[in-house]
Every structure is written in C-alpha cells, then in structure tokens.
A and B are shown apart, each in its own frame.
Chain A
Amino acid sequence: MSSTRQSGAPVWAAPACLVLTAIGIGIATYLTIAHYDTHVSLVCSAKGAIDCEAVTTSAQSKVFGIPVAVLGLAYFVGMIPWHLPIAWRSADPRIRFGRLIYGLSGIGFVCYLVYAEAVIIKKICLWCTGVHIVTLLIFVVTVFATALAIPTDVVDDDEADDDELEEAEN
C-alpha cells in the first residue's frame, strides 16, 4: 500500500493569488516605466492629498539606491513560484511557511511605504496604493488558504490499515 501526502489547499488559492500577482506586476511595471522614462507621466490626480509625482520623486522613492518601483516588480515576479498550483498542492512545510514569510515581508514593506506617504511625504500616490492593496489581498488569500489546508494522505489501497482496524475493533 502506498500513499502521497497533499496539502489539502483550496482549489481557488493558486488561481486567485496568480491573478492578483499579475495585477501587481502590471502596476509595478507601469510605475517602473514612469520612473525611468521622463516622457511617461503617471495618470494621476494632483489635488489635495493625492499627488503621485510628489511620492514617486521623493527621497523615499528609493531604498538603498534602488527605486521602490523596481523592488516592487521584483517582489511580484518572485512571488510567482510560491503560488503555482504545484506549490499549493505540495504538503512540504518549507513551501507553506516560505510562502507565508514571503507574503509577510511584502506586508512589512507596505507598512513602511504607507508610513512614508502618510507621515513624511503627506501625499498619496494612487498607483502605489493599488500595489499596496494587491499585496495585502495576496497576503490575506495566502493566510486563509493556508489555514484551510490540512495535509492529507491519499491512500492508493481502498482498504484501511489492518493494524489500525484491529486496534479499533479491540
């Protein structure tokens, strides 16, 4: 009798996370292009607290000299392997916890960027907020899908283990 251990993750976990990741890649790509190509302006309101240019040209728009837009794009691209269907089907705890930690690292960075916008720059970039929301949604889906995933053994033999049954009978 042989068996394989599967994660038991909901079937919607992988497609939901991959769709959100694709959206994140799209927005991050747009922000990256706007950062490097001065001919590309962000489509964004400039009234009141909303000012994309002020945020994306601020000192906080770079971390260790790397544009935040580029870091965001790299983050979402790096997220793809964690959310492939084969990764969600795997019961390997390293993949499960690695996925959670990767998502949590994104949340940590989102907290810093929200702090930069709200407290330091005091302006909001709508596109950046879109990326933050996508990151948060991926984290929420990951957390709940992981919570629902109880690893199960798929037994090839239809009969239950004889030892277990004998113990149950006694």
Chain B
Amino acid sequence: MATVRDTSAHDGSGHRGPTPSKKAAAERIAAQRAAAQRSARKRNLLMAGGGVLAVLLVIGGIVLAGLHTKKGTGSSDVVPASSAVSEAIAKTAALTAAQPDLSTILGPPTALTGAALKASNGLPQVLYVSAEWCPNCAATRWPLTVALSRFGTFSGLTTTYSSTTDKPSHIPTLSYRDSSYKSSYVDFDGKEQVDGNNKPLQVLTPAENALFQTLGGTANDPAPGYPFIDFGGKWKQNGTPYDPSILAGMTPDQVATAMSNATTKAGAAIQASADVFTAEICSIDGAKPASVCTAAGVTAATTALAALTK
C-alpha cells in the first residue's frame, strides 16, 4: 500500500499553516495592492488639487472683474409701467374703507403755516421733488401715486429701481419723469431733479427751487433733501413715510401684487402712507371728492394728522 506523502508544513505542534511559498505569494500580492493604492491616491490627489485650483481661479477672476469694472451709481433702465402695475395702483386707490396701519409710518408729515401753494390753473398744488437714484424716494412714489390716483389719473408712468450703491439698494419704484396727471381737484407737479446716474433731468422753476431750498430740510438737517413733498402749502413731507427696505429684493410687478394686500408688509405700509397723503390732499382741496375724503381709512388718517397739529 502506497503511503500518501504529507507535503503540508507542520510547526512541531501538529498545527497545519501556510507553506513558505504561499506566504511569499501572499506578501507579493499585498505589496502589489499597496503599490496600486498609492498610485491611485497620487492620481486622485493630483485631480483634486487641480479641481480646487480651478475653483479658486474662477472665484479670483470674478473678484478681479469686480475690481476693474467701472464704479457707477448702479442706475437701472426706466421702462413703461406694466399693466400689472397700472392695474394695481387703481385697485389700491379704491381701498379707502380699511383702517390703515399707522404704525408703519416712520416719517410723519409736518404742518406748514405759510402761504397756500397753487398751480397756475388755481388748483391747490402738490409739489414733489425727487431723484431717481434715491431709495427713500423710491418708497415714497408708490403711496403718493396711489393717493393722487384717488383724485385724478396718471399717464406715462414708468418704473425703475433706485441706486444699487445706496442703501437700501435697488428699490423698485415708479418715475414721474415722463408722466402727466389730470385732475379737477388738485394739480400735481412731480419733478425728478436728477436721474439714476445723478445727472440733471428735470429743472425746478425758480419758485419751486425757492420752496425746496426753504422747506426741503428738517430741524435736524436744514439742507434740502430728497424726497420733498409740499401739499398745497399746508403739509410737507421730508423723507420717506415708511421703511424702504420693505421693498428690497422685489420687482415693480411684485410690489404691485403686494400693494393691494394689507396683510403683506409692503401692502400695509403703502396703503397707510397713501391714506395719510390722501388726508393731506383732502385738507387742501376742500375735502373733495367726498367719497374719498370721508372714507373710513382716510378719516382715520385725518384724525392722526390732526393730532400732529396739537
């Protein structure tokens, strides 16, 4: 009977382990794997480094582009007001019944005691002096337009944005530069004295300029500033009536959508300011039309105005 030769290794204790040749093979395989992993890691790291470098170059390029672009006032194009804006102004103008949220009024008007301001046609006049780059003016035009729309009709309204380099920046707004206003109750003279690039646009008459120089400042800052509104010589508005940052990040159409909704910040502020401006116009035109001047919202604003004169 042939015996089977036992070729397995023994460690003396009778335990069977790997043969020397298997052990060497295993070590060779491990070394090959390690080398392959090192090579793969090196390749991956090079690619990773290249990717990160590319990202840094792109960001650096953008920053350099910013440093080399001409610094301007960041003016925006002036375009005809969309139908959505025009319709929203009319819709909001009709909202005179609701009680205004007067807590949104940060800059109330000031009562005047001088001569009445009248237009050449004998109607009491509302004079508005402004700049298209000005963010406070941007906020003010919305409620002023709504208020005046209760007494007459605008045509030729345009929309634009205030300066991107002022703060708050890029506030959506209207412009009166190409507009006309018709009313049998009040005359409106809206002057955009400078455009979005601070370049001269519309010229004040000597009388308007005298008024602006005299009344355009405040007790804290006597220098005339934008916006300035003279309501028939009886009230004046220096600065914005509400916080313009409420409109930040919006487009004119978005303001139009929000304007007629008093549950929105923009809607509450614009409607309240419009009611205050309406009350001021009612005080100079003999409270006509009665449907506007005796409406609940306008009456509430009138009461608030009366408190300012006490």
Do A and B actually bind? yes
Measured CB to CB, the residues of A under 8 A from B are: 38, 51, 53-54, 57-62, 65, 67, 107, 110-111, 114-115, 117-123, 136, 139-140, 143-144, 146-148, 150, 152, 159-160, 164-165, 168-169
Main secondary structure, interface of A, reads: helix
A119 x B249 contact (CB < 8 A): no
In the bound complex, residues from chain A placing their C-beta under 8 Å from that of B170 are: 58-60
B74 x A122 contact (CB < 8 A): yes
In the bound complex, residues from chain B placing their C-beta under 8 Å from that of A59 are: 161, 164, 169-170, 248-249, 251
Q: A110-B59, A118-B67, A143-B51 are known contacts. Are A58 and B25 too (CB-CB below 8 A)?
A: no
Q: Which residue of A lies closest to B161 (CB)?
A: A59
In the assembled complex, the Cα of A39 lies from the Cα of B170 at a distance in Å of: 21
Question: Is B40 close to A, CB under 8 A?
Answer: yes
Q: How far is the CB of A99 from chain B (nearest CB, A)?
A: 13
Within 8 A of A (CB), among B108-166: 161, 164-166
In the bound complex, residues from chain A placing their C-beta under 8 Å from that of B40 are: 150
In the bound complex, residues from chain A placing their C-beta under 8 Å from that of B62 are: 111, 114-115, 118-119
Q: A54-B168, A58-B164 are known contacts. Are A122 and B249 too (CB-CB below 8 A)?
A: no
Main secondary structure, interface of B, reads: helix
Question: Is B29 close to A, CB under 8 A?
Answer: yes
- Which listed segment binds A: B5-13, B42-50, B205-213? B42-50
Please list 18 pairs of residues, one from A and one from B, whose beta carbons are closer than 8 Å in the complex, sorted by A's number.
A38-B243, A58-B164, A58-B169, A58-B248, A62-B249, A110-B59, A111-B59, A114-B59, A119-B62, A121-B74, A122-B164, A136-B55, A139-B52, A144-B52, A147-B44, A148-B41, A164-B29, A165-B26
Q: Which residue of A lies closest to B168 (CB)?
A: A57
Q: Which residue of B lies closest to A167 (CB)?
A: B25
Q: A118-B66, A122-B66 are known contacts. Are A61 and B52 too (CB-CB below 8 A)?
A: no
In the assembled complex, the Cα of A107 lies from the Cα of B56 at a distance in Å of: 10
Q: Which residue of A lies closest to B60 (CB)?
A: A114
In the assembled complex, the Cα of A124 lies from the Cα of B71 at a distance in Å of: 14
In the bound complex, residues from chain B placing their C-beta under 8 Å from that of A118 are: 62-63, 65-67
A57 x B59 contact (CB < 8 A): no
Please give me the 9 A-B residue pairs with the lowest Cβ-Cβ distance, nearest first.
A118-B66, A168-B25, A147-B44, A57-B248, A147-B48, A57-B168, A62-B249, A59-B170, A54-B167
Q: Which residue of B lies closest to A143 (CB)?
A: B48
